[in-house]
Amino acid sequence: MTDDAGTVAGPLRRALDGYLQHVSIERGLSTNTVSAYRRDLGRYVRVLDSRGVARPADVTEKDVTEFLSIIRSGDDGRPRLSAASAARAVVAVRGFHAFLTDEGITPDNPAGDVHPPSQHAKLPKAIGIGQVEAILEACRTDTPAGLRDRALLEVLYGTGARISEAVGLHIDDVDLDHGMVRLFGKGSKERIVPLGSYAARAVDDYLVRGRPVLAQKINPAKATRVPGLFLNKRGGTLSRQSAWTILNVAAERAGLTIDVSPHTLRHSFATHLLEGGADVRVVQELLGHASVTTTQIYTKVSADTLREVYALAHPRAGKR
């Protein structure tokens, strides 16, 4: 392998290879996530090797905490990591040692009490309901591509889907009769979420008047029938890059002067639900978050909104 572990061999290298195989095959983590683990843990194993640590059972809590210090300072000759990147690396190390403990390779987890560096919470970017509606209304629905664009954006906002989940939809994943859609998230985890009447109507219009026209563009001699829901102008499956362009064009037509991405619609979906009174655990399920902690960052947005409304509306909210 050509990762940060370099030429490190022996028990540590074999343990790392086993863990990477575990998260890739048994846990089904995405290719990008496994690559990040390989990079972070490769650096970790190399640091351990430089400290004379040869076996997993020889690793101490001090080794783990000093690794955190090293990646923050760059003392190993590698680039210094930000708090967010260092936190990711610590999570990888904790998972690695938990695996070794579970497998009986080590008696305990030396990383169990090592916590990632604190980070300033970044509030998700969300736009107002009126701005979302302006983007949706900016899609022309008098052409097959326009019908597709409107359906795509309605699905993104109506379900909170990630862009990869939306462009990966197949026709059979959409149940218009019951207003539900099946999404496949990170690690191929499946979830069923409501589609919403506006999104369902847009998808129905696209399936009736838009997609059949786009599907005719594909050369049957060169390709089999494309099962994807959203097609490009050549009849193939719409790409993530094209979906970004569709949103950017719609936002520009709507007159928005701020940057808007597919994730902006996902953030707005969650924020608007919470502001409307939805329970955070329901939003967690809809977003496909493994932990409610990930979802709770959106509650800060809603809390800020509540404080603002209170300050403006309550007669005794002002400073004394």
**Active-site residue identified among 182, 186, 253, 300:** 186
For this structure, is 314 an active site residue?
no
The continuous run of DSSP H or E covering 183 comes out as strand 180-184
For this structure, is 97 an active site residue?
no
**Active-site residue identified among 43, 148, 272, 289:** 289
d(CA 60, CA 10): 18
For this structure, is 266 an active site residue?
yes
Q: In sequence order, what DSSP letters do the residues of 5-32 get, joined into one string?
A: TTT--SHHHHHHHHHHHIIIIIS---HH
Nearest to 284 by CA among 273, 188, 169, 27: 273
d(CA 282, CA 130): 24
For this structure, is 253 an active site residue?
no
183 DSSP β-pair partners? 191
d(CA 147, CA 140): 7
**Active-site residue identified among 88, 148, 266, 272:** 266
For this structure, is 263 an active site residue?
yes
Going 85 to 122 to 300 to 190, the CA torsion angle's sign is negative
**Active-site residue identified among 263, 281, 307, 310:** 263
For this structure, is 298 an active site residue?
yes
Going 247 to 250 to 252 to 255, the CA torsion angle's sign is negative
**Active-site residue identified among 162, 211, 267, 272:** 162
What residues are annotated to the active site?
162, 186, 263, 266, 289, 298
